[in-house]
Amino acid sequence: MSVLAQEQSLEERIQAAREQVCSLHAELTRYGLVVWTGGNVSARVPGAELMVIKPSGVLYDELRPENMILCTLEGEVVPGTPGSERSPSSDTAAHAYVYRHLPEVGGVVHTHSTYATAWAARGEEIPCVITAMADEFGGPIPVGPFAIIGDDSIGRGIVSTLRGHRSRAVLMRGHGPFTIGATAKDAVKAAVMLEDVARTVHLAAQSGQLQPLDPLAVDALYARYQNVYGQSGDDRREPPAPITPTEGSTDVPRGTAN
């Protein structure tokens, strides 16, 4: 948990998560990663067993911090909180499962971005053939199992595929991409970069045989990007969000629903 989050009350951390999740959905449309109401972003509330996620089937232009939905890490809506009168995203159980089983994850994103979803439809991993992939993902983008939407099956597939893997992205077979990150912003960045490399590698494959990068070069590129590139305060360098609630944060916040 960041120093700023440690100084905030639980209510302040929840509000910050609401504002961040709401604003990050605009990035999905900005980069053309979703259409209509598809896709979702969620964020772990630092220091509490809570998460914030978008409501189901609501147009992106209608999303506001107050209609983001607060849920437990079991995927249950916290009653009496702003937005709780609506149903959460149909992927809520999947996101919650990821948070429960990967404590280093602070954000989860799902899109139906065109090129990444095309690879998922083929059930084919994206080979690591360009430096941008080595930098961001540390190797190929793996394929996860097909899973039915609505329960934690997708979350199980995400965790079983990405646990112990350097990639922060998985292509769920016959469905589409999910990305994880140290924060929700970090996970959105991974989704943007995933679509970019999925498109580039797809186009490259149309004109000739792909040439995977040497594994030693991939290791060196990944280490440099993760530890040298950018600024020391970048999200990926922050300590992982703990799952043990801070003192006083075990009480689930309640109030009048908006």
Length of the chain (residues): 258
Tell me the C-alpha distance between 23 and 195, whole Å.
20
50: Cβ contacts below 8 Å, ≥ 6 apart? 14, 44, 70, 71, 72, 73, 78, 252
Dist CA 57 CA 96 (whole Å): 19
CA dist 111 and 32 (Å) reads 10
Which member of 91, 97, 115, 135 is catalytic? 135
Indicate if 234 belongs to the active site: no
Tokens found for residue 231: 């600024």
* Residue 225 known to be catalytic: no
Beta strands in the chain, from DSSP E residues, in sequence order? 40-44, 50-53, 69-72, 107-110, 143-144, 169-172, 176-181
Residue 193 Cα to chain centre, angstroms: 12
Among 96, 85, 153, 165, smallest CA distance to 125 is for 165
Hey, how many other C-beta atoms are within 10 angstroms of the C-beta on 229?
11
- Just list the catalytic residues: 135, 229
